[in-house]
Amino acid sequence: MRYCLIGCGRVSPEHIRAARQGGLAGIRSLALSLADDEAGDAWNWETAVSFTVKHLDRMLAYWKHGCFINVNIPNIKEMPVSLLHAFPSIRYYSDRICTYAAPDGRRYCFTDIGAISAKEEKGSDYDAVAGNNASLSEIFIHPVLLESVMGRGKK
């Protein structure tokens, strides 16, 4: 049985959480995102779905225990050029917390959504999507120290 969810969101959107939960349960899981940097109000879901169906077996082949697969598909009318294996880019979120003091003395907090930017690095998912390619990255379900991933945590 295959599970996939297409969606969009912020730091930890629902489709990422669903893929992580699937991975924790040992289910081959994908988080599919439609990258929307330049799209305005146009959402090219038909293209994203067609591309996913065409490449689904290849995407799922990257899955391994302890991970889920993150796929970013450019929001363009034509099919992406290719599916590239890439590392996740570092994202910078300029969201902030706003507080509201209610008349009854309670304080409420809300997220003021800001712009998202990314560190532009060759070989990253950002780089792949900027070139009208879809990107595929394996994401660890559990937090990992950067030193461990880069091999510097060994003694």
Could you report the per-residue pLDDT of 14-70, keeping only the tens digit for each? 788 888 888 888 899 999 988 875 556 778 889 999 999 999 999 999 999 989 999
| Residue 21: C-alpha distances to residues 3, 61, 90, 155 (Å) | 11, 19, 23, 32
pTM, to two decimals: 0.74
Give bridge partners of residue 69 from the DSSP assignment.
Answer: 30, 138
Topology adopted by domain 3-88+121-149: Stationary-phase Survival Protein Sure Homolog; Chain: A, (3.40.1210)
pLDDT of 127-146, one tens digit each? 999 999 999 999 988 776 66
